[in-house]
Amino acid sequence: MSQFKIIGQQKLHGKVNILGAKNAALKIIPAAILGNSASIISNVPDIIDIEKMIKILDSIGAKTEFSGNTVTIDPTKINSYKPDKELIKKLRGSIVLVGALLSKFGRAHFFQPGGCLIGARSIDDHLDIFEQLGVKIRVKDGEYDLSGYPKAGHIVLKKMSVTATENAILSTVLSNGITHIHAAAAEPEIADLANFLNKMGASVSGAGTHEITVTGVKTLTGANHQIIPDRIEAGTFLMLAIATNAELEIGPIVSNHLNVVLKRLDDAGAKFEIIAKDGEEFIRTKKHAGLISQNIDTRPYPGFPTDLQSPYAVLMTQAKGESHIFETMFEGRFAYLEELKLLGGNSLILNPHEFSISGPTILKATEISSQDIRGGAALVLAALIAEGTTIINDVEIVDRGYEKIDTKLRAIGARIERIN
C-alpha cells in the first residue's frame, strides 16, 4: 500500500504537462495487433493500466517495448487468442481486445474483466454486438469462448457505450462488406482509435458521431500514431487550479473536447483563457473573486464527463450555495464522498444517482483512502485545499489513471510526499 502525505493550502504556480489520453491508448494499443507489421504509439501515459494492457499483449505472443511514453507493438509472432486470465481480470479496458482477436483469429477466449468498483458494468452490450455479427458465444464457469469471424452488417447498440462501440469497430475492420454502427458513442477517444486504424489501412468513417460506417479491408499494416491529449487529466488539473485559486498553464489540450466543462466552470465564476502555442492549445487559469455553485449531470460525450464528476464535487465545496450533481452513468461512483466528509465536506446523497454538496466549506486534514481512480484524484485535490497535513491511503489506485501526479504537483509548488 502506498500513501500520499499532503500539506495543504500551498501557493501553486507554473505549468502542467498533459499527456495522451489513457482511454484512447488503452484501445489503440490492442488495435495494433491487427497489423501485419509493427506499430509505434507515442504520447502514451506511463501508468499502471497501460502496463497491464501491454502485459496482456505479451501473454498472447506480441513483442512489445515501452520507453519514454512510446510503445512499440510487433504483432507478427502472436499465436494465441487466449490472453492471460489473471491480467484480464485486473483490467476493465481489456474487453476491447476481444474485438481485435475475433478480427484476427475468428476466436477469442476471455474472462469477466475487472477494474474500479464504480457500479455495475456488464459485458452484455459487447456480447450482444458480437451476436449481431454472427459470432457464436459459449459461457462456462465464468469463461467466455467466442468463435466465428464477424460478418459485416447492421449493428444497433443497446446504449451509447464507449468500449462496445470500439469493439464493434475492431470486430469489423477486416470483415468482408460494409458495417453500419447505429447509436454509437461519440467520445473523442473513439475518433482517435478510428484515425489510427485508418492510418493502418482501415476504412472507418463517422467516428466521433452516433453513426459509424466500417468498410472491411483485407489487411492492415502497422502505423505510427500520437495519442490525443487526455481531457480528463486536463480537466482534473483545471479544477485543481480553480479550487486553489492558482495561476497555472495546463496543456496541451483540445479545447473542443472540454466545451461543456469549460462552460460550467465559466458559469461558476472561474477565470481562464485558451492560448495557442506552436500549433497546440493550452489553458491558462487566472485568479477569481469567488465561485458560485452550479448543478451538473454527467452524460455521454459531448456531455459533462462522468470521470470529472468527483473533482467537480470537490471544487463545489469551495463555491457559494448548494450544487446538485446527477450521476447518470454509474450508480457506485459516490464512495469518495464519505472520505470527503471526513475532511469536512458537506454532502448529502439523495439517491444512488444524485447528491447535493454545499459550500463554501473549510476542509481540514485527516486520514482518508482512495476508492477509485477519479475519486482518488478528487481526494488529492481536496487535500491540497485542506488545512493541515492529510494522509491518503491506497494511492496506487490513482496511479492507474495519472502518470506521476505527485511529481507534477511538486513541480507547481505542492507539498506532497509519496510513502511506500
Sign of CA dihedral 253, 259, 260, 266: positive
- Among residues 211, 241, 346, 232, the alpha carbon closest in space to that of 298 is found at 232
Please confirm, yes or no, whether 116 is among the known catalytic residues.
Answer: yes
Look at residue 119 in the predicted model and tell me its pLDDT. Answer: 45
Q: b/e string for 286-305 if b means 16 or more Cβ within 10 A?
A: eeeeebebbebebebbeebb
Task: Give me the half-sphere count of Cα atoms (radius 13 Å) on the Cβ side of residue 308.
Answer: 30
Q: Which pLDDT value is given to residue 116? A: 45
Tell me the three cell numbers of residue 50: 497501460
Ramachandran region, residue 250 (left: φ > 0; alpha: ψ -120 to 50; beta: rest): beta
Q: Which domains does the chain have, with CATH numbers?
A: 3-18+229-419 (3.65.10.10), 22-217 (3.65.10.10)
Report pLDDT for 36.
97
| pLDDT given at position 331 | 73
Per-residue pLDDT of the chain (420 residues; tens, 9 = 90+): 899 999 999 999 999 999 999 999 999 999 999 999 999 999 999 999 999 999 999 999 999 999 999 999 999 999 999 999 999 988 988 999 999 999 999 999 998 776 444 444 478 999 999 999 999 999 988 899 999 999 999 999 999 999 999 999 999 999 999 999 999 999 999 999 999 999 999 999 999 999 999 999 999 999 999 999 999 999 999 999 999 999 999 999 999 999 999 999 999 999 999 999 999 999 999 999 999 999 999 999 999 999 999 999 999 999 999 999 999 887 768 999 999 999 999 999 999 999 999 999 999 999 999 999 999 999 999 999 999 999 999 999 999 999 999 999 999 999 999 998
Write down the catalytic residue from 116, 135, 319, 343: 116
**Cα first-last separation, the chain:** 6
The grid cell for 68 is 519514454
pLDDT of residue 114: 60
Phi first, then psi: what are they for 145, rounded to 5°? -120, 115
Positive/negative CA dihedral, 5, 307, 26, 19:
negative
DSSP per-residue string spanning 321-380: EEEEEE--S-TTTTTHHHHHHHTT-EEEEEETTEEEEEE----B--EEE--SHHHHHHHH
**Phi, psi (degrees; rounded to nearest 5) at 297:** -135, 130
